Amino acid sequence: MSDTGLFFSVRSYPVLLERDVVLDPDLSYEALSVWVAMLAMPKNAERTVSALTGRGFGRDRVTRALSELERYGLVYRWERRVPEGHGLLTQVFERPASPLTAFRCLPVKIRPFVTRCLSVPGVVVGELRASLAATHTPSLSNT
């Protein structure tokens, strides 16, 4: 085991939490708790405020924690077109990610339907698509 992280299994595969992230004083224990809970959820679980409330965390605390995780780059929320109108897609990362990295990690078949990044105001989805096309970077997730 590496000296740089804390290792425990929360899914069907092990997750390595980087010590720098876990011990960063800029990340509250509130945010860390919600982050670990999100990592522990099954792959297709709903990661909404409602799904994360409980254990002493009401809507306000969860919302505050999610906002903090978004600012830190551990959580990204994307709006996408669905037949009923708009849907929400939430990504959770094990280490901070840039908007381009987060977009690259979206399933290829979903990317065309993403209309905006709710986590980082000012990010233009069209520019993320163009950056991916220019670099011809293969996706990390083809599902």
Task: Find the range with the poorest average confidence among 13-22, 32-41, 104-113.
Answer: 13-22
The yes-or-no verdict on residue 132 having pLDDT over 90 is no
The yes-or-no verdict on residue 9 having pLDDT over 60 is no
Tens digits of residue pLDDT in 84-125: 777 888 999 999 999 999 999 999 999 999 999 999 989 999
Q: What is the pLDDT of residue 10?
A: 43
Sheet containing 114-117: order of strands: 85-92, 75-82, 114-117
The yes-or-no verdict on residue 1 having pLDDT over 70 is no
Integer-rounded Cα Rg, in Å, for the chain is 16
For the segment 130-140, the average pLDDT, to the nearest whole number, is 73
Q: Which residues does residue 5 pair with via DSSP β-bridges, in sequence order?
A: 18
CA atoms within 13 A on the CB side of 109: 3
CA atoms within 13 A on the CB side of 99: 19
Supply the pTM of this predicted model.
0.79
